[in-house]
Amino acid sequence: MFTAAPPLAFVFSPTLIVIMVATALASWIVSSTLKRRFNEYSQIPIQFTGAQIAETMLRENGINDVKVIHTPGKLTDHYDPAKKTVNLSEEVYSMNSIAAAAVAAHECGHAIQHAKSYAWLTMRSKMVPAVQFAGNTLNLFLIVSIVGAGIFNSPALLFVWVGLFAITTLFAFVTLPVEFDASRRALLWLEGSRISSSMDHDKAKNALFWAAMTYVVAAIGSLATLLYYVSMLFGRRD
């Protein structure tokens, strides 16, 4: 028979604290490096702005139903499959630099994935409702689960909570091939495009690498946390 560890160990544990601190530190290092690279490569000019690059890449890939628009904030760039818009941060939209080119092309990579029904993107999109539900209820459900386990001496609710957390972890790993493939598509197009003569592709590749690393760190941190919770539930046998 399995007996779960004491409920409070779910939130008060040296192991969990180490995992959280290590993940936060790795995330800070990657995020800081990404911002430095972006700032550095933003100073290297090319002929076209991010918006022009995005529009050209979409057109050359036969995609005419996706709009390129600008969105507030810094590094807030994303592709919206529901509205079919490539959303570029104000800096990327109007800037003519290697950084802007790399980011704009990457987001267009997602639009191409969508147009070609790329399997990993399709799977990721189908998971969004479940992930949104899990994300919105995780904290509340953790409190309810711990209280329930303490009162009824049953880990049943904790199993449900771990199941919800597992959904978010799976989503983080499904996101990885989506992001890496978008970067691959971006670099291939940039290398073969008419702007290639004015670009340093190694720098563009480096910028996209550090952007992808933010997702890698998030996925590894989520998996480590999930394995910790699973070990807490199955850690003792009567």
Instruction: Give catalytic residue positions.
Output: 107
- The C-alpha R_g of the chain, in whole angstroms, comes to 21
Q: How far apart are the two ends of the chain, measured CA to CA in Å?
A: 5
d(CA 53, CA 104): 7
- Which residue shows structure tokens 């800081």? 32
- Which residue shows structure tokens 């199955």? 234
C-beta separation of 77 from 87 below 8 A: yes
C-beta separation of 162 from 226 below 8 A: yes
Nearest 10 degrees: Cα torsion 176, 180, 181, 187 = 170
C-beta separation of 140 from 234 below 8 A: no
d(CA 45, CA 42): 7
Total Cβ atoms within 10 A of residue 55: 18
Total Cβ atoms within 10 A of residue 59: 11
